[in-house]
Every structure is written in C-alpha cells, then in structure tokens.
Amino acid sequence: MILSRGEILPPEQSGAVLAKLPEWIAGTYADGPLDPACVIAACDTLAKRIAAGDYEDAVRLVIASGLATRPQIDQAAAFFCRENLEYKYRTEFGAESFPVRERPPGAPFAIERRMAPLGVLLHIAAGNVDALPAYSVIEGLLAGNINLLKLPQADAGLSVLLLAALAEIEPRLIPYLYVFDTPSSDMETMQRLAAFADGIVVWGGDEAVAAVRQLAPLNACVIEWGHKLSFAYATLEASDEALAGLSRQILSTRQLLCSSCQGVFLDTDRMEELYQFCERFLPILDREAQRYPLPDLGVQAQITLLQYTERLEAAAGKRLFSGSRTSVTAGADCTFELSLTYGNCGVKRLPRGRLAGALRPYKSYLQTAGLLCGPADWQPLCALLRRAGVCRIRTGEHMSIPIAGEAHDGTFALRRYARIVETEIP
C-alpha cells in the first residue's frame, strides 16, 4: 500500500504519484509554513483512538508477526500524545527562545533568528520498534517538513494506516505525507524519491547507510540513525535486585533492539570473580525467563548450535554456564560481541581503569549503558561511560524504556530536521 494526498492506493500507482510530486511539492511550499500545534493536536487525537482500540486488528497483526510486543506498541503510541510531543518540541527546539531578535556584538544591524524546515525529508525506515516509521514521519512534521516515507519490508501495514488516519483527522497534513511501499532493490524508484529530498533520514546498519550515501544527491544531507550497540556495566556490588531488573530488560526485548543489553562488562580483572558473578547471575536470569515465552524452535535450534560451536572453539578461560531457559558465557577477553539473543548473555572482565580505552574502538556504535553498582560508584562510573562515548546511561532494567524528549543516539532529531534562518531587521 502507498499513501498519497490522504488516499491509500495500491503500489502500482507509485509511478503516477511520483510524476505529480514536483507540482504538489511546489504548491505546498507556496501555501506557507506548517503549524506544529496542528500536528500535535492531530497526533493527540490519534493516540486517543489507538488507546480506545480503533486499530486493534492492525496492532494484532504486528504483534503476531513478531515485530513488536504489546508493551512496546503501547509505549510507542504514548509518544503520539499531546503532553509528550509538546515536551519534545520544547526540549529540542527551545520553543520559548525562538524567534530571537538581537544585535550581535560588533554587528552594524540587528537580526531575527528563526527555525525553518529543511524542506522535503525522505525517511528510509527500519522495521524495529526503536525506528517506528510513523513516528519518524511525525518528527519530520513537527519540524515543518514535507515527508516521503519508504516503508521497511516488514511493516505489516500499520504505518500507512496510522498516517492515513492522521491525514483524516487533520486535512492540513495531507500535502505533507506520502508513503511508498518500494523495495530497496528498485533503484530507479529509490533514485527518483531521493531526487526530491533536501534531507534523507536513514534507519539501519552500515550497509543501509552506505547505500543511501551513494543514492543521495549532492544537495541533500544524509541524517543517519544507524544500528547501535548497548551493554551493561556491573561492579561486584551489583545487587540481585539490579540483576533481576537487567534480566527483565534482556528477556523483554529479546536483545533485538539497539538499546538491548548485548552483554555485561564486569569491573574486575580476575577470572575467578568473573566465574562467581556468572554463577550468581545465571539463576536470576533463568528465573526471570519463566515469565516470557520461549522463542520458536528454529531460533532455539540456532542458539543451541552456536553454543555448541562456542564450546568447541572456546579460548582458554572461556566458559559457558547453561540454565534451563538461558545461558551466561564468561569471556576471556574484553572485546564487544553481539549476544546470541533471547536470554543468552556474555559477561567479560573490564576493570574501570581500562573501560574508556577498551570501548573507544566502538565509540560510533555505542548507545545505552545499563549501570549496576553501589550508590558511591554511580557518579564516577557515569563520568567514565560518558568519556567512553556512551550516549545514554540508565539502570539495567530501564535501558530500553523510551521517554519523551530523549535524544536519538546523542543528538536531537528535530534540530537535524530544521535549519536556522537569520534575517536582518531594517
């Protein structure tokens, strides 16, 4: 399905829509700026409809496809409400401080400084909940942009439905919303979409980002929200309660989100302490796993095969601790590794004195650190993690809980979707 001028159309209509886009975009520019207040009001109405169950059939389809859990969808829907969007707008734009009218030091005239949209944003969305395509478009709307959304392959139709509903609620948004169900392999259509863009917003890994850089015209900026890595950092004083909270984070996200804990670094240099920590952590992780469904048989078989391979290829000191539903692997080095997912977690030694140096090679990929320590260590370790390149520091249990107004990977999205225009005041 595609969305154009407020109508849901079959994908075969993409060519006709693309042919009309230059005329439609020019007309939207001529109509004047988009009021963020109307965007927020429409989103708030949509959030209330979602809460009332108006789109329950589509939500069930997304849940059944494995793209998201019910709590994740509820959290994402909450971001559409007025309170959250107004807070986001104030936080990212500093709404009280724009426009600015002042005379800079030494300037022969005064200026007015305003925020303005980039123009046309092409969103190339990923299919995980962190990058819910409809929410990416709403961010573009809040900054006043015309938005072209290229759906991810596994979208299940929810984004088209939500954005069509948004256009129905507030007709002023109709010329700012276009959705295309175009495969990434259709390079001709992708190039036509990119040619309209003043900014291309890409959600995905290194390959996706590299492909978009090649696709982007020279006059369009590329705004990357790439795949990120997250981990937990624990001291020997971490409580069982904190480990239980981290376990719930690991199991509820299945370790599939950018903010999911891929592994634990332990503040020690001694293998014996590492083994003791794993022996303490495993039964807690295994106990919490009883609250969550097992992965399907194919995933279980793949994990079992990988664990068997790890046993065969284990380096000196590496040890696998297996539970009934989960596992913990004690690693012999301090490199960053992806987890086996679904409650299978690696633990490695990394004393705090070597933390910044060990994480530096991954600096551009780091996102969230879940910190498990005593109160006296919280501030010193937060300072270390900030210097190491982490963008977000949380307790283990809260690593993947989204909050209103938070930055995307260390920067504010709305600021990147806008530009500053300075005008002389005569």
Q: How far is CA 304 from the centre of its chain?
A: 29
Q: Please enumerate, as own/partner, the contacts of 70-79 that have beta carbons within 8 Å and a separation of 24 or more.
A: 71/252, 72/129, 73/129, 75/129, 75/401, 75/402, 76/129, 76/132, 76/135, 76/402, 77/47, 77/50, 77/51, 78/47, 79/135, 79/402, 79/404
User: Does one domain contain both 222 and 235?
Assistant: no
Residue 380 banded pLDDT, cuts 50, 70, 90: very high
DSSP string, 256-294: -STTSEEEEEES-S-HHHHHHHHHHHHHHHHHHHTTSPP
Mean pLDDT of 89-96: 83
115 in Cβ contact with 163 (< 8 Å): no
User: Does one domain contain both 238 and 183?
Assistant: no
> Does 186 map to a domain?
yes
Residue 344 forms beta bridges with which residues? Answer: 327
> Does 328 map to a domain?
yes
| 110-122 pLDDT tens trace | 999 999 999 999 9
> Does 404 map to a domain?
no
User: Does one domain contain both 285 and 376?
Assistant: yes
User: Does one domain contain both 244 and 167?
Assistant: no
User: Does one domain contain both 281 and 355?
Assistant: yes
Residue 315 banded pLDDT, cuts 50, 70, 90: low
| 214-267 pLDDT tens trace | 999 999 999 999 889 999 999 999 999 999 999 999 999 998 888 999 999 999
> Does 322 map to a domain?
yes
| 188-212 pLDDT tens trace | 999 999 999 999 999 988 888 999 9
Give residue for tokens 């990058």: 131
User: Does one domain contain both 207 and 76?
Assistant: yes
> Does 170 map to a domain?
yes
Backbone φ and ψ of 106, nearest 5°? 80, -5
User: Does one domain contain both 222 and 241?
Assistant: no
User: Does one domain contain both 257 and 210?
Assistant: no
User: Does one domain contain both 419 and 356?
Assistant: no
Residue 95 banded pLDDT, cuts 50, 70, 90: low
User: Does one domain contain both 46 and 184?
Assistant: yes
User: Does one domain contain both 336 and 189?
Assistant: no
> Does 403 map to a domain?
no
Query: What sign does the CA torsion over 159, 165, 169, 173 have?
Result: positive
- Cα–Cα distances (Å) from 125 to 166, 184, 249, in that order, read 18, 11, 24
How many domains does the chain fold into?
A: 2
Domain that holds residue 70: 2-227+409-425
- CATH number where 173 lies: 3.40.605.10
Q: Which two tokens stand for residue 85?
A: 């969007």
